[in-house]
Amino acid sequence: MGQLKVVGGMSGSELPLYPYGVENRLDSHFFVAWERRRWLNSGMRLQGTPECRALYLDLIWISYDQAPVGTLPTDPAILAKILMVERGHFEALCKLPFGPLHNWVQCECDDGEVRLMHSQVLRTLTEAMSRREDNRAKNEAANAAKRLQRLRSTLAGYDAKLVENDAAVRWIDEYLVKQGVAYRTSSVIEDALRSWSDHMLDLGMRRL
């Protein structure tokens, strides 16, 4: 297939190593950021036939649901089946300068499988993964803040002075998180307070 390129020097098999594994998914990611002007002025759009352009874009969107995400199989029979076109016709289109597999290159996945990757797809994936991690970090920070606020309110019923001690509140919260406590009942809170007292007593003994 004339559009396949091999980039060497990055793995033992002389193929670039794909950065994502099958465990990296974007199942809840229902849209993809795509540079409209970049596409409108690309060689593929300006010089590819209407059919090749349509199949090219189809393969890009299909790759986001593959494993690893953003890759395609190398077997032309599988690709033709995915695209619902006749294999011989698909292979003939791929021999054109701007065929359906324009700028797709072979790569090696973490399990040793050889698949196809596209630099633009990989770039959008990297941005999407980064945004997801940023959102996850923000959500975790917001959840932690709410959890600490609820803990302060609960602890106020036991020791109003203790609530003013940020280090104590955070230590007790971390203790409960490490314990894997799902529901912070009164008995659980009392156990955490005893552990905090033991912790402070231990620190005092060490200083003697």
pLDDT by residue (tens digit) across 23-63? 767 665 566 777 889 999 999 999 999 999 999 999 999 99
pLDDT confidence of 204, banded at 50, 70, 90? Answer: low
Task: Confirm whether 135 is domain-assigned.
Answer: no
Query: Could you tell me if 164 and 80 lie in one domain?
Result: no
Task: Confirm whether 25 is domain-assigned.
Answer: yes
Single out the residue of 67, 169, 59 nearest to residue 110, CA to CA.
67
Report the chain's C-alpha Rg in angstroms: 27
Task: Confirm whether 54 is domain-assigned.
Answer: yes
Q: What is the SS3 assignment for 12?
A: coil
pLDDT confidence of 10, banded at 50, 70, 90? Answer: very low
Task: Confirm whether 136 is domain-assigned.
Answer: no
Query: Could you tell me if 117 and 171 lie in one domain?
Result: no
Task: Confirm whether 142 is domain-assigned.
Answer: no
0.85 exceeded by the pTM? no
Rounded to whole angstroms, how far apart are CA atoms 3 and 97? 8
* Domain hosting residue 103, numbered range: 5-128
Query: Could you tell me if 23 and 60 lie in one domain?
Result: yes
Q: What is the SS3 assignment for 107?
A: strand
Record the tokens describing residue 117, joined without a space. 């990757």
Q: What is the pLDDT of residues 150-159, one digit of tens each?
A: 999 999 988 8
Query: Could you tell me if 184 and 89 lie in one domain?
Result: no
Query: Could you tell me if 121 and 165 lie in one domain?
Result: no
Number of domains in the chain: 2
